[in-house]
Amino acid sequence: MAVNQKAIKVLNKIFEAGFTDEKEISAMTMDDILSMQGITVADITIINDLQKSIKANKVISFLGGGAE
């Protein structure tokens, strides 16, 4: 399973915005996401998928590019 590089780049943007753990990322609102520097619609989709993966305890599968 290859690492999802796009997800890693978005994860770095999330960390730079100050959201550093699963609880904070899961609690991000659309306002939080839109206030991030350089965010794109594709990034928002990845963040949404990441939040779903965190709630389903499937973060490693998400980062590996696996299905939800």
Domain positions in the chain: 5-63
> Which residue did the predictor score with more confidence, 4 or 20?
20
Query: 28 near 51, Cβ under 8 Å?
Result: yes
Query: 3 near 64, Cβ under 8 Å?
Result: yes
Which tens digit of pLDDT belongs to each residue from 15-41? 999 999 999 999 999 999 999 999 999
> Which residue did the predictor score with more confidence, 59 or 33?
33
Q: Who contacts 3 (Cβ-Cβ below 8 Å, separation ≥6)?
A: 63, 64, 65
Q: pTM for the whole thing?
A: 0.86
The rounded distance, in Å, linking the Cα atoms of 45 and 63 is 14
